Structure 1
Amino acid sequence: MNTLVPEALTAAAFAPFGEVIAADAAAQCLSINAGNTARYHDLARLDAGPDGRLIVSIFRGQPRTLPFVVSMMERHPLGSQAFMPLGQQPYLVVVARPGPAPGADDLRAFLAQPGQGVNYAPGVWHHPLLALNAIGDFLVIDRSGPGDNCDEVGIDPAVRLSLD
């Protein structure tokens, strides 16, 4: 079984899959509320697709034990899906480019740090939530509306996900 080792989550490395959401030096920062608030502006291209609407949810993920076997992926072809952690634990992101169902060699993994979120572009293959160390709450902005917006595929052969 091949092993997939996560790389650091950076805007450049994640660009083929969507955007990294973070209040960092790369973001446009505006001073608002008479200078009392910094607004990190327009951090992701949220897309509800035709006839959809954006919804806000909280997902609570159980921590995954590593090594972890990646045996499936999913995608949302009709809209984007943004995840922003609400806690202080790192988490894992496993993705593949939009298009045909991915194979084991198409997967990339990222180690996201507290304060870093991701926005999956429409059609990007990704593994469901991979919290680490503790139960993790995530603010999720995604699409609600007509149409089938979740495809799942198996990964064969499966891939071992490990930090080493």
Structure 2
Amino acid sequence: MNLLQARPLTKEVFAPFGQVIELDGARQFDINGGTTRRFHDLAAIDALADGGRPIVNLFRAQPRSLPLRLSLMERHPLGSQAFIPLTTRPYVVVVAPDAGGRPGPLQAFITQGWQGVNYGRNVWHHPLLALGEISDFVVVDRGGEGRNLEESPLAGEVEVRW
């Protein structure tokens, strides 16, 4: 079994795979007569390929058992996919660069709980990895015609540690 060490999620280390959705560094301003603070344009949503449209979903993720073992990665060739947690519970993010149509070397990150991620189009990632309890996420991705999911089994099982 291969071991994968998760590290803290930051904008800089995640940039090759998409964006970290967080408030630090965001453009912000007051709206609604000063009663609301707007944190503006937090992720580059890419959903219009081949006539697609952005859709908003709620995903309710079951907590994963420990030790955390991975055997499959997925990607979305027609659009990005953003996950915004509705809790402050940390979760694990696993991504990989493309290596000839299959996942390359895996990288794992542990979130600070309130951080979201936006996977860029065609970025290999593991399905949701909630920890500890059922966790809800708002998910913004692509709706429309066309096959927007590719899955790839990993060559061997991988265990994530942090």
Paired position in structure 2 for 1:73: 73
Q: Where do 1:1-164 residues align within 5 Å? A: 1-24=1-24, 26-48=25-47, 49-98=49-98, 100-103=101-104, 106-163=105-162
Task: Check conservation: 2:89, 2:114, Cα contact below 8 A.
Answer: no
- Displacement of 1:102 in angstroms is 1.4
- Displacement of 1:98 in angstroms is 3.8
Counterparts of 2:113 and 2:96, CA distance in 1: 22
Superposed CA RMSD: 1.1
Deviations 1:134-164, CA, capped at 9 Å, x for gaps: 000000001011111100001012211122x
Counterparts of 2:161 and 2:87, CA distance in 1: 22
Counterparts of 2:6 and 2:37, CA distance in 1: 31
Alpha carbons of 1:46 and 1:98: their partners in 2 closer, same or farther (altered >3 Å)?
A: farther
Counterparts of 2:54 and 2:3, CA distance in 1: 36
Structure 1 unmatched ranges of 5 or more: none
Question: What is the aligned length?
Answer: 160
Deviations 1:59-117, CA, capped at 9 Å, x for gaps: 000001221111100000000000000012110000012452014xx100010122200
Q: Secondary structure at the match of 2:13?
A: helix
TM-score normalised by length of structure 1? 0.93
Task: Check conservation: 1:66, 1:162, Cα contact below 8 A.
Answer: no
Q: Secondary structure at the match of 2:34?
A: coil
- Displacement of 1:2 in angstroms is 1.8
Give me the identity figure in percent.
54
Task: Check conservation: 1:82, 1:119, Cα contact below 8 A.
Answer: yes
TM-score normalised by length of structure 2? 0.94
- What letter matches 1:128 in structure 2? P
- Displacement of 1:34 in angstroms is 2.3
Deviations 1:36-81, CA, capped at 9 Å, x for gaps: 2211110100011220011111000000122111110000000000
Q: Would you identify which runs of 4 or more consecutive aligned residues in structure 1 move more than 4 Å?
A: none
Counterparts of 1:156 and 1:97, CA distance in 2: 15
